[in-house]
Amino acid sequence: MSERAAPFYCPYCGDEDLRPSEEGHGAWECHACNRAFTLKFLGLLSRGTTANSPHGGAP
């Protein structure tokens, strides 16, 4: 089994001073801006979704 992926930076301030939170699975704390947030894996995209399709990728 592989380790869980960790965020590299805070989505609010961009700092890298992140630590797992005691709030539960996927919860993180940023000690630079004093915010807490959670991450959740929603699932895999269907194989037919590409960067050129209207529902996936960059515009």
pLDDT for 25 equals 87
pLDDT for 1 equals 44
Mean pLDDT for back-to-back runs of 10 residues, the chain (59 residues): 76 96 92 95 78 59
Contact 56, 45 (CB under 8 A): yes
Q: What is the DSSP letter of 45?
A: P
State whether residue 25 is helix, strand or coil. coil
Interatomic CA distance for residues 40 and 59, integer angstroms: 24
Q: Please give the model's pTM, rounded to 2 decimal places.
A: 0.64
Interatomic CA distance for residues 50 and 23, integer angstroms: 36
28 — phi, psi (to 5°)? Answer: -135, 155
